[in-house]
Amino acid sequence: MSRYSKFLICKRKYFYDYYLKFDEEIAQKKIKFLKNLTSKPLEIGNIVHDIIKNILRRYKININPINKDKFLKYSFEITKKSCKNKFFFEHYYNGEVILIHEIYEKISYILENFLNSPSFAWIKEVAISNSNKWIIEPINCKSKIDDYTIFCKVDFLFPISDKIYIIDWKTGKPDKKHNKQLTGYALWANCYFNNKAANIIPIVVYLYPKYNAKSIIFDEFSVVEFKKTIEIETNNMYKYLINIEKNIPKSKKEFQLTNNRFFCKFCNYKEIC
CA distances from 79 to 43, 66, 76, 83, 169 (A): 9, 18, 5, 6, 18
Flag whether 168 is in a domain. yes
Radius of gyration of the chain (CA): 20
Residues 232 and 133 in one domain: yes
Residues 177 and 222 in one domain: yes
Flag whether 15 is in a domain. no
Domain count for the chain: 2
What is the chain's mean pLDDT, rounded? 95
Instruction: Give the amino acid at 69.
Output: D
Flag whether 6 is in a domain. no
pLDDT value at position 46? 97
Flag whether 122 is in a domain. no
* CATH number reported for the structural domain that contains residue 204 in this entry: 3.40.1350
What is the pLDDT confidence band of residue 247, given thresholds at 50, 70 and 90?
Answer: very high
Range of the domain at 94: 22-116+257-273
What is the pLDDT confidence band of residue 103, given thresholds at 50, 70 and 90?
Answer: very high
Flag whether 2 is in a domain. no
pLDDT value at position 115? 97
The DSSP letter of residue 165 is E
What is the pLDDT confidence band of residue 149, given thresholds at 50, 70 and 90?
Answer: confident
Residues 98 and 136 in one domain: no
pLDDT value at position 147? 80
pLDDT value at position 150? 80
> What is the rounded distance in angstroms from the CA atom of residue 171 to the CA atom of residue 169?
7
Residues 66 and 95 in one domain: yes
Residues 137 and 218 in one domain: yes
Residues 39 and 82 in one domain: yes
Flag whether 244 is in a domain. no
Residues 145 and 91 in one domain: no
pLDDT value at position 261? 93
Residues 78 and 33 in one domain: yes
- Tally of residues, the chain: 273
More confident residue, 151 or 265: 265
Flag whether 94 is in a domain. yes
The DSSP letter of residue 21 is G
Residues 191 and 147 in one domain: yes
Q: Which of 194, 210, 207, 123 is CA-nearest to residue 165?
A: 123
Q: Is 49 left (phi over 0), alpha (psi -120 to 50) or beta?
A: alpha
Residues 134 and 215 in one domain: yes
Find the mean pLDDT for residues 120-128: 96
Residues 108 and 158 in one domain: no
pLDDT value at position 192? 84
Residues 207 and 268 in one domain: no
Flag whether 124 is in a domain. no
pLDDT value at position 1? 47
Asked if 158 and 133 touch (Cβ cutoff 8 Å), the reply is: yes
> What is the rounded distance in angstroms from the CA atom of residue 120 to the CA atom of residue 126?
10
Whether the per-residue pLDDT at 17 is higher than 50: the answer is yes
User: What pTM was estimated for this model as a whole?
Assistant: 0.94
Find the mean pLDDT for residues 42-57: 97
Whether the per-residue pLDDT at 38 is higher than 90: the answer is yes
**Span 166-220, pLDDT tens digits:** 999 999 999 999 999 999 999 999 988 889 999 999 999 999 999 999 999 999 9
